[in-house]
Structure 1
């Protein structure tokens, strides 16, 4: 959820979807709840988040009630477009959701449950900073219906955390994992590689530390320098080096090797799980093109082929809802060509891949050369599927270009 909203047409003040859009009861429905608060803005972060000094007219202690007004609006909008569907997944992201009291998160979740319903087997995730997770917090989240905690570990090496402006104590990662386990929650650890000054040995240490904690799921993302961030300015001034592409490639290969050795299978370019049951079903819904409604400032939604996104600042978001208006700032409905490109972009990232039969003619002609270059699995291709090799995952963007040009 970057800082810049996409271009698109204006969204109607009442939030209604185009008249011809109908939601399908069989299409899974996910809920994303954005909590845009952080104690400190990390130097690499381009997400729509705010420290206390940046809120200007918005209050954290009123946020849960404000967001629930959007839940009520979504009930009206979706009810006019088809049957209301219970949520298959719910994801609290941020920001730092656990900066809010657990009771506020519980009220938001209860609002989703009373409005749409939540499937009995739903995956309900909360992102958390390690410093904010205690036994009491984890227990209260579990009692509210949360099933999974995604802990922002990022690194086990202090100088790497400092380069990222991460302020948590690395020792608190283990404390947070223990608290989550004690409450019966599944655990995911998030890692970032390629920070200024991070060596391959540093990255190995972080991976080994994460594996030793035996989470159910690990995400490992290459550091991307986003325009407008503190880190981008530091690199432009020559204060710190830019990420090294070759080193990041080595780091990715090391992650895949060590995680595989630790019992984790890759299922998406940057994600590994102990077994299919512990894959992030919420994120898979994005990659598979399901429906979801994103609640909160700057949150994005996808319903029946229509994409829309909310105003960014929490104060503007609250003001729209207080006036009885939709917080949506804009929307778009991609045409068939754009949807086909997006399908290739997203579905080639996951282990199941995508059927070769769904490629357009030129894309099909590229398959043989991609196999010869070691980017696509030849055995899977014989069975009609595009599945990336490890090298293909490193060059996923190039593969997509070849399949869509």
Structure 2
């Protein structure tokens, strides 16, 4: 077994660590306080090639392996957690649109997504359907050369800023998972409306409720065959859950490094507080757990890149990594004392940001159901 990164991956880490520190971390608090969409950062990440890592080469993408993309997620999160949504959603677009879209749809959207000029979102969750994604209510009805979409999607990251969504709707009322179809829906289409949610964290990603009132789109905007949408998004969720975990761990790792530097300088009772076991032991424990979760995540992506099953490993990483990141950042906040509780330091923002992805793309409870299913079979499921 070889646990070393390639020379190219090491260079990517150096490049992105500098970029995250200089270009993202310096503006992260402004984006959080203002709720402003970081459009310039999206374009910068496009220029670096980050938004085309998983996209087809013929549209300007790189078709990079999943492990390298996961490394990029972790490094970007060090500077600004919300900016990792760019890599997440562009990666899902490369998978879902890149593999299932018509030539018309791919030509229209992929180059702009890759450059950072066009923003993409994924519209799966509904007001009454979150984890139970096979029971969508939003429907798409075929009408000649068009589909008519009616329904509501909620909790949609980038919903206020996206130009296009990968939307999942029911095309067969008699089927569950096999009745769900994917579509590329431009958000400037007549009948689309948006309503922003007021979130605890990740305020710059414009999470929203999207309403579709008899929205007409060409049949060519269907992504793949009817009834294949659920399976498309589940394949994407496996790797994206690991990406999310690595983003959370990147934020936790940055917090740990800042805290280690602080406790070596901060003095109490005549010596650096790092010399007190009540300070050093929590840091040692957090560093151990973060490293273990990181390598679990890398292993999951390595399995995926080698064509091996990794659903169990992805779910393991997703239930544990975000929870661990929240606990680690919280501990770092506490070790900074009362200044850690202010918005002068980044811990309170990181904590708020990371909590959101204890929910997004699968709660811990659903992830544990998946792990149990993969370990013991479907007969262990409660449904």
TM-score in terms of structure 1 length: 0.26
Instruction: Looking at secondary structure, tell me which structure has more helix per residue.
Output: 2
| Structure having the larger proportion of residues in strand | 1
Q: Which has the higher contact order (CA 8 A, sep 6+)?
A: 1
